[in-house]
Amino acid sequence: MSDTALENETSASGENGTRRDFLYVTTGAFAVVGVAGVVWPLVDQMNPDASALALASTEVDISAVESGQSITIKWRGKPVFIRNRTDAEVEAAKSVPMDELVDPQEDVDRAVEGRENLLIMVGICTHLGCVPLGDAGDFGGWFCPCHGSHYDTSGRIRRGPAPLNLAIPPYEFMSETTLRIG
Amino acid sequence: MSGHTSSYDPQNGAMKWLDKRLPLPRLVHDSFVSYPVPRNLNYAYTFGGMLSIMLVIQIITGVVLAMHYVASADLAFNSVEHIMRDVNYGWLLRYVHTNGASMFFIAVYVHIFRGLYYGSYKEPREVLWILGVVIFLLMMATAFMGYVLPWGQMSFWGATVITNLFSAIPLFGESIVTWLWGGFSVDQPTLNRFFSLHYLLPFMIAGVVILHVWALHVTGQTNPTGVEVKQKSDTLPFTPYATIKDAFALVVFFVVYSWFVFYLPNYLGHADNYIPANPLVTPAHIVPEWYFLPFYAILRAVPDKLGGVVLMFGSIAVLFVLPWLDTSKVRSASFRPTYRVFFWVFVVVAIVLGWLGSKPAEGGYVIASRIFTAYYFAHFLILLPLLGIFEKTKPLPNSITESVLGDSDSKGGSAMPSGAAASPETKG
Ligand code: HEM
Ligand code: FES
């Protein structure tokens, strides 16, 4: 050991540092990796667990939703709005010029071709997560009472603090009357 | 103060024996019996003691509530009703805890405004002040998570809105929120972890309180004159003088507290929280607990999501740098005539912001929120730095003793002239 110590001292001013410096740095690096390895499980346990991720998709019978009506179903713990829009509502949604929108998106991109009247959206305000009220607001669509966000008949944000349009979940028509969400 | 030498003198053998091994009684004696406090402290200085007592009350009632409470999305609401109806004295324990949270915040706001008025945050008490702001933040986190536990409509939607604040963070926002929830919405995992943290945080507060009191005992207290203690006659021993004053204030405080607990137990709460949580319906008008309202008003004043969240956190963060924003060398508002006016304006602004936070976010309320939010920040970022430069302050007394007795070369100690009305030790 005393040999090494001597050596260290003589090479202390060397450009590459001493062997002891090397040991410090490697030990430190291992300690950091070790601590990170221990902390990660503690952090990651808070993420959605296997049972939450496994939440299956939901099938809905939409035959009873008449024109102008809407229903709310639960998918992944969240409300999903299924609205059978009137032709007038669809027209109103289509006629909005893109430059009036906060988060520009055509109405055709928000509904399935051939079934434009059915608007299917996650019923969660993109501001801070409240459930907006239907048939309300200054644009004939939805209104979020929490901090005053107005959505139009296409569920697009028009006024208020929310930054984005109401989200469209992944969905598929299984038949004329059944819809699968997720 | 750290400078003062210990006057602890154990009389019996056992205490002497212990003193040589673990001088805990000496620490207590030096900190809460012989500890010298400025002789001119007024009732604004009694709220720190009350806060310590409130923390103890919350912990005791909380631990017993936890013996009956069930942190399950299906059972939580009913378990709270079970506490209210079936558990012996359950109604009392719960009302003491619920209203205790409100009283805790009343006390902390008075305590903070006391600090603002008397310049308590100024050199050399910056660390003491910052620890106080840390306690305030921990209290807010604790109370927020506690309010989620009964799993009523306000619990659920309050939790949803507040956790969603983090979704404003660019890039990682959504993943952070999912991580906080442990799912894709506020649900069972959220409730469970909030209970765990609601149990933990008060003990962390207790830890920071110890640091806070330690820092206090290093620098000593401020006092209404803002002039530092210079001589023995400026101070009195903590016991009996401060102890009695604190105790009297505490009794008055408890009268108010009991009035809420026994006569208006739900006045400070919200009726919607007696409706079980429903993830599909948001109450028409959601508001947080009263003690968060000013910050909520600031959040809603901004028409932009990220902007609102940044300003809301900023309104508390600004307190951390307050010691460096206030440029005035004079500590107490008693000698700062202009600051004193602005201080009271600020108090009114804070209260009006609270009122605005309870109103729906529309029309005139939003405009007013914007004006008052702007003033809130201007107070700290513009007025305080400028006042220190332009304000003409009043002459300071030479010492605390002089300000109390009118002459500076009095003898101090117990040999005070009995005619000195402001001298507390002359009371019968
Ligand atoms: C800093 C101290 C504390 C504050 C500010 C605080 C605040 C709150 C609040 C606001 C509530 C909601 C009351 C309601 O509306 O029903 C609550 C509930 C609860 N707290 Fe605390 N708490 C504190 C300490 C504790 C501690 C140490 C425990 C120990 C486990 C605890 C256990 C509970 C339980 C079990 C509930 C649910 C029962 C109920 O809602 O009454 N709390 N707390
Ligand atoms: S949550 Fe909808 S406006 Fe804020």
d(CA A137, CA B281): 17
A12-32 pLDDT, tens digit per residue, is 455 678 899 999 999 999 999
B288 Cβ below 6 A of ligand 1:
no
d(CA A96, CA A158): 11
pLDDT tops 70 at residue B415: no
Mean pLDDT of B191-215: 97
B58-107 pLDDT, tens digit per residue, is 999 999 999 999 999 999 999 999 999 999 999 999 999 999 999 999 99
Q: Which of B281, B282, B285, B311 to mutate to test the interface with A (most CBs of A within 10 A)?
A: B282
Ligand 2 geometric centre to CA of A126 (Å): 7
B124-144 pLDDT, tens digit per residue, is 999 999 999 999 999 999 999
Mean pLDDT of B149-163: 95
Q: Residues near A56 by Cβ (< 8 Å), separated by ≥ 6?
A: A182
A125 Cβ below 6 A of ligand 2:
yes
Q: Measured between CB atoms, which of A47, A55, A145 is closest to B178?
A: A47
* B125 neighbors B116 (Cβ within 8 angstroms): no
- In this prediction the pTM is 0.88
* B99 neighbors B263 (Cβ within 8 angstroms): no
* Nearest of B127, B292, B300, B283 to residue B218 by alpha carbon: B127
A56: confidence class by pLDDT, cuts 50, 70, 90: low
B230: confidence class by pLDDT, cuts 50, 70, 90: very high
**Pairing state between β A70-75 and A58-61:** unpaired
| Atom of ligand 1 at shortest range from CA of B101 | 5
